[in-house]
Amino acid sequence: MATVLPPLSLLDDVTPEPDCVNHKARIAQIHRALEAFELDARVVRHSSGPACTTYELELAPGTRVAKVIGLAPDLSIHLGVPSVRVFYPLPEKTTVGLEVPNPKATPVRLRRVMEQVAERADTLGLPLFLGEGAEGEPIVADLAALPHLLVAGTTGSGKSACLVTAIASMLMARTADDLKLILIDPKQVELSAFKQIPHLLAPAVTDMRRTPRVMDWLVRQMEQRYSLFAKVGVKRIGEFNKLGGRAVLKKLKSEGEEPPDVPTHLPYIVVIIDELADLMMTAAKEVEGAIQRLSQKSRAVGIHMILATQRPSVDVLTGLIKSNMPSRVAFKVAANVDSRTIVDQPGAEKLLGKGDMLLMLNGSQQLARGQGTWIADAELKRVLGWLREHGGAATHHAGLCLAAGTDAVDPCDDELFDRAAEVVITEQRGSVSLVQRNLEIGFSRAGKLMDALEQAGIVGPQIGATARQVYVTLAEWRSRQVGAAPAAIPGPAPSRAPSPDPLFLAATLLVLAERRGGVERLRDLLGVSWERAASLMQALETAGVVERRPGTGEWRVRMSLREWRKKRGA
């Protein structure tokens, strides 16, 4: 993997347009409106931003703030603007803020924001260059500290552009060694530009029925990282990465364990879901539970989420999800109730669209208004092209690809696959370090081979800091090598031979390892159709591996993995 970041020169250097607002005339107009409505107040200062200007009103003694808020619609008509926003309190001030849209919004370019905060960005784990505030100040957040982000807004509000620039922000600031992405894109449009970049753990997931399995995979990754952290005596991903591989292995040896497959460096993992509403319609219960677990615990191990929706109703942004995601960005929404659903107060319904946003970061009750960062298609194309050329090849995680139902690399593409299989099967221990040592290859390639062995059903998943379980004996492997069909398992009066289905062995091992069977279970784990999963269960019944419980339709596993191997003559 490359250790060099994309150069800033890939982004356009656009000079911002000068402030075109005649503030003196606008302030006089505000004073006339205040006098017309018999409101005793005056403008004492103003500050300009890319989309609106904030005028600070000093109220006369006895003038109620509620009166100013109630006059907001009348003030907008008097000033000839779509809407005005009244907000208070201003930090360390006794004035009331009046936000008035500028005649023309100034686009906020990604390069400009990055240049403004170049030194600060180096100190952030996952910098997000979100835009500019009401006074023209850069809005930069650290996703690692947020630690998750909820984004909502209607079509044309700037929500999708926010997702794209958030991803581009991280790609410009972190290499593929430090950051891995999982993109869930039901529209198959908004995030399609990011395909084949080295930061992806798997191709973009477009089938919502597969997403619960992806979220389950993330939860397992979280638990595995926590288990590893506990064994080496650290609490956060930053502490682990500072240790280095030698120190990690030394700590594991001091615990009396043989060092398993321990990476020397763990990347951040960020999952981006473009339309949460589609996901909640498909599998609300499973997804909500996974989001809850991740949002509560995954920060310390470096797993973060960015969730977006254009339908911010309470059945999508449930109380459970909102309570665990205090950082939110609201773009223009249709109604007051939608604004309250996102940021717990009105205001988003009065935004101007096209990047105008309200931010509530880290649970702050004081909303900040800003204009979202924008990256042109040509700029994004140059950045992604540079990453594909200089950032290294895309190396997808085979286990995640299997869960997501996306196309993974053929396990047999590596000419060392068969030799790696012989090594782990002979030793009956799945270990990256074992493969690396015996084949004299690098850690990265050995890790990919181990993922491929998992996908092929030869070894099990990585659980904590222990070696993987090996599901196949040497005799079974050599039988597969010469193309022999799985031998039948003696059962009670079989009526016909087992199915020659090539997935029969994988189905057998899964059922025996989990001690439960079922058509739905095989369909989900093997990624096959319902009909094929049903035929596999029938073949397992014929082979005597499982049997139906009378009157229930449930399956009972009739033997252990050891008994099955013994009957096969292993």
DSSP letters spanning 290-329:
HHHHHHHHTTTTTEEEEEEES---TTTS-HHHHHT---EE
430 plus 503 within the same structural domain: no
In contact, 130 and 111? CB cutoff 8 Å: no
Rounded to a whole number of angstroms, the CA Rg of the chain reads 29
Mean pLDDT of 424-437: 87
Q: How far is CA 434 from CA 135, 228, 419, 440, 446, in A?
A: 58, 19, 12, 10, 9
Q: Which of 334, 333, 331, 338 is nearest to 367 (CA)?
A: 331
In contact, 173 and 123? CB cutoff 8 Å: no
- Given 86, 101, 116, the domain boundary residue is 101
Confidence of residue 552 (pLDDT cuts 50, 70, 90): low
Kindly report the average pLDDT of the chain as a whole number.
Answer: 82
Mean pLDDT of 27-39: 92
323 plus 182 within the same structural domain: yes
48 plus 122 within the same structural domain: no
520 plus 435 within the same structural domain: no
In contact, 87 and 99? CB cutoff 8 Å: yes
Alpha-carbon distance 507 to 424, whole Å?
A: 20
In a domain? residue 2: no
130 plus 269 within the same structural domain: yes
Q: What angle do CA 180, 184, 186 make, to 5 degrees?
A: 160
In a domain? residue 398: no
Alpha-carbon distance 69 to 98, whole Å?
A: 9
Four-CA torsion 487, 491, 496, 499, nearest 10 degrees: -40
**CATH for 48:** 3.30.980.40
| Whether residue 88 has pLDDT greater than 50 | yes
**CATH for 426:** 1.10.10.10
In contact, 540 and 553? CB cutoff 8 Å: no
Mean pLDDT of 466-494: 56
| Whether residue 405 has pLDDT greater than 60 | no
Confidence of residue 384 (pLDDT cuts 50, 70, 90): very high
Confidence of residue 182 (pLDDT cuts 50, 70, 90): very high
Bridge-based pairing state of the strands 268-273 and 303-309 = parallel
How many Å separate Cα 514 from the centre of its chain?
28
361 plus 428 within the same structural domain: no
pTM over 0.75: no
| pLDDT at res. 316 | 84
As for how many domains the chain has, the answer is 4
In a domain? residue 402: no
Per the structure block, which two tokens stand in for 80? 């000839």
43 plus 61 within the same structural domain: yes
Q: Give the DSSP H/E element, type plus range, for residue 33.
A: helix 23-36
278 plus 226 within the same structural domain: yes
In a domain? residue 374: yes
In a domain? residue 4: no
- Of the two residues 491 and 63, the one the predictor is more confident about is 63
415 plus 515 within the same structural domain: no
| pLDDT at res. 488 | 35
In a domain? residue 295: yes
| pLDDT at res. 100 | 92
Name residue, tokens 């005028």.
55
- Residue 392, SS3 per DSSP: coil
Sign of CA dihedral 502, 505, 511, 514: negative
Helix 245-254 to helix 211-232 angle (10° resolution) is 70
In a domain? residue 146: yes
| pLDDT at res. 489 | 31
Q: What share of the chain is helix, strand, coil (3-state, %, to 5)?
A: 45, 15, 40
357 plus 454 within the same structural domain: no
Structural domain span for residue 94: 23-101
Q: Is the bond into 89 cis (omega within 30 degrees of 0)?
A: yes
| Whether residue 555 has pLDDT greater than 70 | yes
Bridge-based pairing state of the strands 52-59 and 41-48 = antiparallel
Confidence of residue 208 (pLDDT cuts 50, 70, 90): confident
Q: What angle do CA 242, 245, 251 make, to 5 degrees?
A: 90
Four-CA torsion 225, 229, 230, 232, nearest 10 degrees: 140
- Given 54, 86, 101, the domain boundary residue is 101
Per the structure block, which two tokens stand in for 302? 């470096």
97 plus 132 within the same structural domain: no
- Given 71, 101, 131, the domain boundary residue is 101
In a domain? residue 15: no
In contact, 470 and 430? CB cutoff 8 Å: yes
| pLDDT at res. 260 | 52
72 plus 194 within the same structural domain: no
